[in-house]
Amino acid sequence: MSIDKEASREEMVLAIVSKYKEIPGPLLVVLHEIQQELGFIPPEFIPGIAEGLNLSRAEIHGVISFYHFFRSTPAGRYTIQLCRAESCQAMGSRELERHAKKSLEIDFHQTTADGQITLEPVYCLGNCACSPAIRVGDAIHAHVGAESFDAIVNELISEKVEVKN
């Protein structure tokens, strides 16, 4: 990454911190906006966030590591969220989870070696009547089994599906 691009990212992060530092308990708001802008929270910016909010680096890191929503590394080109709520579990999401992890050769919160797919758990997609469900970008897929999961992944990799992450 060029120095100019890195500097502009740092300026953007510091502007977000400055924008919210006067509100009570600004950390989550700041982290959400940084992740929305960059797709993740770069670890090298934690000291600046901590200083700007008058918090310790450990406090910032603790929040980022506690909430699975926050990422400290960039996500893959596509993010697949697999529902782990009770309804989906009752309808086979645990088997789907095992299949997804094995076929992608990753665990939750990891990205495939080619940088294409990140696998994330989610706790209810609101599609309980059609369990098990996954979300890819804004699209929710219903009644997903191993075969349909593989078909979705193959479509993503061959770029036949347009997805907004």
Write out the chain in H/E/C secondary structure.
Answer: CCHHHHHHHHHHHHHHHHHHCCCCCCHHHHHHHHHHHHCCCCHHHHHHHHHHHCCCHHHHHHHHHHCCCCCCCCCCCEEEEEECCHHHHHCCHHHHHHHHHHHHCCCCCEECCCCCEEEEEECCCCCHHHCCCEEECCEEECCCCHHHHHHHHHHHHCCCCCCCC
Q: Let me know whether 57 and 88 are in one domain.
A: no
At 6, is the pLDDT very low, low, confident or very high (cuts 50, 70, 90)?
low
pLDDT for 4: 61
Q: Let me know whether 84 and 137 are in one domain.
A: yes
Last residue of a domain, one of 40, 66, 92: 66
Q: Let me know whether 147 and 84 are in one domain.
A: yes
Please state the domain count of the chain. 2
Q: Let me know whether 52 and 119 are in one domain.
A: no
pLDDT for 158: 87
Q: Let me know whether 88 and 46 are in one domain.
A: no
Is residue 133 within 8 Å of residue 100, measured between CB atoms?
no
At 160, is the pLDDT very low, low, confident or very high (cuts 50, 70, 90)?
low
Q: Tell me the per-residue pLDDT of 75-119, one tens digit each, with 9 for 90 and over.
A: 999 999 999 999 999 999 999 999 999 999 999 989 999 999 999
pLDDT for 138: 87
Q: Tell me the per-residue pLDDT of 9-40, one tens digit each, with 9 for 90 and over.
A: 889 999 999 999 999 999 999 999 999 999 89
pLDDT for 67: 87
Last residue of a domain, one of 27, 44, 66: 66
Please check the confidence at residue 3 and state whether its pLDDT lies above 60. Answer: no
Which one is predicted more confidently, 69 or 91?
Answer: 91
pLDDT for 69: 83
Residue 162 lies in a domain: no
Domain extent at residue 121? 78-157
Q: Let me know whether 34 and 103 are in one domain.
A: no
Last residue of a domain, one of 66, 91, 118: 66
**This prediction's pTM:** 0.74
Q: Let me know whether 16 and 41 are in one domain.
A: yes
**Sheet of 134-136, strands arranged across:** 110-111, 117-122, 78-83, 134-136, 139-141
d(CA 117, CA 100): 11
Residue 71 lies in a domain: no
